[in-house]
Amino acid sequence: MTVPPGHVCPYSICGWEKRANGCAFIFAILGAIVGIVILVVVTLTLNTTTLQTFQTLSQQAHSQDKGVASTSQQPCANPRLLVTAPIRVLLKSQTEAITLQVTNLDTVECDITVSLVAPRFTLQPKDNQQLLALASSSSRALVWRVTPTALGLFTLAFTAGAANQQVGINVISGNAFLPAQPQTLNYVGIFFGQLLSLASLLVLIMVGRPLPFRRRRQTALPSRPAAPPVAPVALETNVTGSAITADA
């Protein structure tokens, strides 16, 4: 840091200032480099972490799937169920349409009651039971729109006659912070990297500014009075050459 022209900086203050500015400059450079490295690393790995998290949650949801076929000898007790849930990882308050296809495998017409048990979900239509009239070897599809109201891993159970099928759905938060998820560290790293880089840049700007030292008036030293002019000395010699007198 340079002292502005016309300002006086005591030697002790200038020495301390130079050492402090040197340390601040070094730390600011290191902070900027660390912040940029953190920002680049967490940004490049964010997509990979998010994809891995989604795949893990989807696998957990699929692990909840289970189907039980009926072996009853009663008529209309053995329909075939096929549940289609295209999205297994939902955000809270996100709606998904789940399709249930029921096929009558008997040789007679059947009235089959289909029900859905989905705790922590709101259903549309709201009735979780529907009655289907199916001719022999015919099928029909039902659609329920489900909206989660809580976070976590849930199981939706479908029942038709004596057959049932379960599907799993994982519900996560949309802000990626609460509850904490694997990609939460990436978002925290992005924030911290930006903050560290901006703070280091601010320090570099502040180090380059001169301190406002107080201006001191320069007082002129009193000048010595000029010596009076000296008159030339005239020398006179008497007749005998032995006496000399000086007249001013």
**What pLDDT was estimated at residue 224?**
59
CA atoms of 4 and 22, how far apart (whole Å):
18
pLDDT of residue 232: 56
Contact 125, 116 (CB under 8 A): no
CATH, domain 65-172, list 3.90.79.10, 1.10.3720.10, 2.60.40.10, 3.40.1620.10: 2.60.40.10
Which residues, other chains included, contact 105 with Cβ-Cβ below 8 Å and sequence gap of 6+? 78, 79, 80, 137
Instruction: Give the pLDDT confidence of 124-152 residue by residue, as tens digits.
Output: 999 999 988 888 888 999 999 999 999 88
Q: Tell me how far apart the 2 most distant CA atoms of the chain are, in Å.
A: 177
Residue spans per domain, the chain: 11-57+179-207, 65-172
Out of 63-72, 164-173, 192-201, pick the least confident: 63-72
Q: Tell whether the model's pLDDT for residue 116 goes beyond 90.
A: yes
Hey, how many other C-beta atoms are within 10 angstroms of the C-beta on 189? 17
Q: Please report the sign of the dihedral spanned by the C-alpha atoms of residue 176, residue 180, residue 181, residue 184.
A: positive
Judged by DSSP in three states, 43 sits in helix
Model confidence at 100, pLDDT cuts 50, 70, 90, reads very high
Q: Distance between alpha carbon 185 and the CA centroid of its chain, in Å?
A: 8
Query: Would you say residue 221 has pLDDT above 60?
Result: no
3-state secondary structure of 46: helix
pTM over 0.75: no
